[in-house]
Amino acid sequence: MTTARETVLGRVRDALALAPATATPVPRAYRTGRTLPDEERLALFTDRLRDYRAHVHACTAGRTAEVVAGVLREHGAVVIGVPPGLDEGWLAGYDGEVRRDSADIPAPRLDELDGVVTASAAGCAETGTLFLDGSPGQGRRALTLVPDLHVCVVDLSTVEAGVPEALARLVPDRPTTLISGPSATSDIELERVEGVHGPRTLVVVIRTDV
């Protein structure tokens, strides 16, 4: 008796065998190259993030540690997790417990954390979206899914006006995660519920001079 997995994989193999030998070109005539001055880009990005109910703090790079520590204190984060490659200077003002994440830590253990602090790969002002690509300063996806608080540090220089421009910053073969506001869903009566599929609270710290 064949298993469901074998059946599905068999159908995939049959479909690939019948597929055309040559790739079909995909037209990419969408608009690219859009830019906005820093002040306008920051204002649009902030507006869209807040529309998604994210908390936003803008600061200079020199105040990163101060702002991050203030956010963590405000949300009562006593134990936080960070990716293995996060800049240690960002946590210089934090006096709680910091746990460096690794692939050896089981996902259920991440539930012990009050929050997580990460960097980001890029941002899109038009959609208020953060892009994480699993690099050392951003960590694995589980780290930003399990804790109830996600503090994401974004350099304004990596925030693009539109989606095509933001995607151009990414490495195609990296595991990219797109985040637009805190985790939320609605039931059949359109009652919004936050924190169902990820962090209930998203705080974005935008460094305006980097």
pLDDT in tens, 90-133: 999 999 999 999 999 999 999 999 999 999 999 999 999 999 99
Residues whose CB falls within 8 Å of the CB of residue 30, separated by 6 or more in sequence, listed in order: 164
Tokens describing residue 1: 């008796």
pLDDT in tens, 156-185: 999 999 999 999 999 999 999 999 988 777
Question: What span, in angstroms and rounded, lies between the C-alpha atoms of 115 and 143?
Answer: 9
HEC-encoded secondary structure of 62-86:
HHHHHHHHHHHHHCCCCEEEECCCC
Residues whose CB falls within 8 Å of the CB of residue 113, separated by 6 or more in sequence, listed in order: 79, 80, 81, 99, 146, 147
Residues whose CB falls within 8 Å of the CB of residue 99, separated by 6 or more in sequence, listed in order: 79, 80, 81, 82, 113
Q: Cα separations (Å) of 184 from 53, 127, 202?
A: 10, 16, 11
User: Which residue, among 139, 148, 147, has the nearest Cα to 118 in the 3D structure?
Assistant: 139
Report the pLDDT value the prediction gives residue 178, as an integer from 0 to 100: 96
Q: pTM for the whole thing?
A: 0.86
